[in-house]
Amino acid sequence: MSESAIFRDRSRLSPRFIPEELPHREGQIQQIVHVFSGIIRDPDKFPLTVLQVIGPAGIGKTSTVITSTRRIEEQFKKNRLGLKTAYINLKLQGGNKYAIYRFLLERIAPTLPAQGLSAEEMLRYLLQYLRENKEYAVVVMDEIDYLIKTSKDTSIIYDLTRLNEFEPDKPCNIKGVVFIARSTEFYSRLDPAELSTLGRMSIEFNPYSAEQVSDILESRCNQAFAPRAVGSDIIDKVASITTSEEVKGDVRYALDLMLYAGNLAESEGTGRVNLDQIRKVHGQIHPSLTTEEIEHLSKPHIVSLIAVIKALKAKKKPYVELKEVRLHAEELAAQFGIKRMEVEDYLDDLKIRKLVDIRSLREIGLHGASLTELEPLLMGRIKADK
Ligand SMILES: Nc1ncnc2c1ncn2[C@@H]1O[C@H](COP(=O)(O)OP(=O)(O)OP(=O)(O)O)[C@@H](O)[C@H]1O
Ligand SMILES: [Mg+2]
C-alpha cells in the first residue's frame, strides 16, 4: 500500500536508512570484503588489519563500509563463527577517548561493566572478553577526522592500531579497524608514530558522475515513491544539481531534495513531482546543512547558529563581531530555557563543521550566503526539541 499518491514509503529517503543495493559501490564493497577474506580460514592467525576509507561528503562511505561489514558477518555466520561490528560515529558519539572506549565495550561486551575502569583496562577487558567467548570483532571509526580536529588527544589512533601489541603473547580477536574520513587533512595533527601505525592502506572513494547519481536516485526513488510520481526528467535534474560545483556530489542532499519536493507535490496536489517543485525546494534548502546535519546539532549549537544569522541580518553585513553574536545568543538561550552557554565553544565547532566562517573575533560570518534563509527551519528544530 502506498502512503499517498506521491509516496510509497518516504522513510526510505531518510539519512538513517541503508538500502540493500548500493549501485556503483559494488567495487568498493568487494575491495573491503576482500581485505578480510583470509580471516575465515584461520581467524586466530589473521593479523589486525587497519583500513582507511577516504572521500568527500555524502558519497556512500558509511553505507559502503556498513554493507561490507554485514557481508563479512554473514560469511562468519556461514562458517559458524561469531563476528561483531562495533560502529562508532565520532561526530555523534564524540567525547574523549574514555567515552569512546566505553561505547566500544557496550557494543562488543555488553555484560562487562565499564564503570571505574581506565581506558587501557577497558581495552584489555574487551580483548579478554572476545577471547573467552570465541568471538571476533571489527571496529569502524566513522568521522575520525572530526574527532582528531576537535580533540587534543589523538592517542586513540595509536591504541586502536596497536591492539595486537597489547598482549603480544595472546591472539587479538579484534581483526579489523576501519577509519572513515572526508580527507587526509587530519594526518597533519598526528605524530609520526600514530601516522606510521595508521598505515597507508586506504580505499579512495571518488564522487559519483551525474549518470551514476541518476542510477542511484532511480533505485532509491523506486522504493520511496509511488509508481510514476517521479519521472526521469526529475531524476536527471536532481542528478545534475547534485554533481554541480555547489553540491559537490553529496547524495544526502539529493535525497533531501527528493523528500522535500515530494512533500511539496503532495501538498500542492500535483499528483507527481514537477521541475518547478525541485527548483523551489533547491532554493530553500542548503547543501552544507542537510537534515542529517541539523539532526546532529545540539540545541546550543543551533542557538549559536541562529544567533549568527540574526546578528548578520540585524547588521546587514557579511561579517559581525563576536559580542553581537553573543547578545543574540543570550536572548535566544533565555527564550528557549537554556541555562548557561558559552557561544564561543559552539562557534568553534560550527566552524569545524564548515557552517560558520570565523576570520577573527571581529569577523564572524556564514559559509554560504543562503544559510540565512534557514532561520525558520532551525527555529522549528529547537522548538520541536523541547
Ligand atoms: N550508491 C548508493 N546507492 C544508494 N544510496 C546511496 C549510495 N551512495 C550514497 N547513498 C546514500 O546517500 C547518503 C549519503 O551516503 P553516506 O552516508 O554513506 O555518505 P558518506 O560518504 O559517509 O558521507 P559523510 O562523509 O558525510 O559521512 C545516504 O543516505 C546513502 O544511503
Ligand atoms: Mg559517513
Q: How confident is the model at residue 15, as a pLDDT?
A: 81
Do 261 and 277 contact (CB within 8 A), yes or no? yes
Q: What pLDDT is recorded for position 16? A: 84
What is the reported pLDDT for 123? 93
**Between residues 122 and 1, the one the model is more confident about:** 122
At 299-311, the pLDDT tens digits run 899 999 999 999 9
Instruction: Average the pLDDT over 357-381 and give the result.
Output: 80
Query: What is the identity of the amino acid at 57?
Result: A
**362 in the same domain as 319:** yes
Q: Are residues 62 and 158 in the same domain?
A: yes
Mutate which of 14, 29, 54, 59 for ligand 1 pocket (most atoms within 8 A of beta carbon) = 59
Residues at Cβ < 5 Å from ligand 2 ion: 62
Residue 227 and residue 122 share a domain: no
129 and 250 together in one domain = no
Same domain, 326 and 212: no
Instruction: Say if CB 33 and CB 40 are below 8 A apart.
Output: no
- Please choose from 251, 291, 292, 293 the residue to mutate so as to test ligand 1's pocket, defined by most ligand atoms within 8 A of CB: 251
Q: Give me ligand 2 centre to Cα 289, in Å.
A: 14
Residue 144 has phi, psi (to 5 degrees) of -65, -30
Same domain, 77 and 92: yes
**Domain enclosing residue 345, as ranges:** 292-384
Q: Looking at the structure, do residues 155 and 43 belong to the same domain, yes or no?
A: yes
* Cα torsion angle, 28, 30, 32, 34, sign: negative
Is the pLDDT higher at 286 or at 180?
Answer: 180
Residue 64 CA: nearest ligand 1 atom is: 18
Q: How far does the centroid of ligand 2 lie from the alpha carbon of residue 249, in Å?
A: 13
Q: What is the number of structural domains in the chain?
A: 3
In total, the chain counts a number of residues equal to 386
Same domain, 153 and 65: yes
254 C-beta closer than 6 A to ligand 1: no
Cβ neighbour number for residue 304 with a 10 Å cutoff: 30
| pLDDT attached to residue 261 | 95
For the whole model, what pTM was predicted? 0.84
Ligand 1 atom at minimum distance from 219 CA = 4
Within-domain flag for 7? no
Q: 56 with 160, same domain?
A: yes
Q: Look up the CATH number of the domain holding residue 298.
A: 1.10.10.10
258 with 307, same domain: the answer is: no
Average pLDDT over residues 358-376: 79
307 plus 258 within the same structural domain: no
Domain termination residue (choose one: 222, 251, 285): 285
Q: Kindly state whether residues 199 and 343 are assigned to the same domain.
A: no
353: Cβ below 6 Å to ligand 1? no
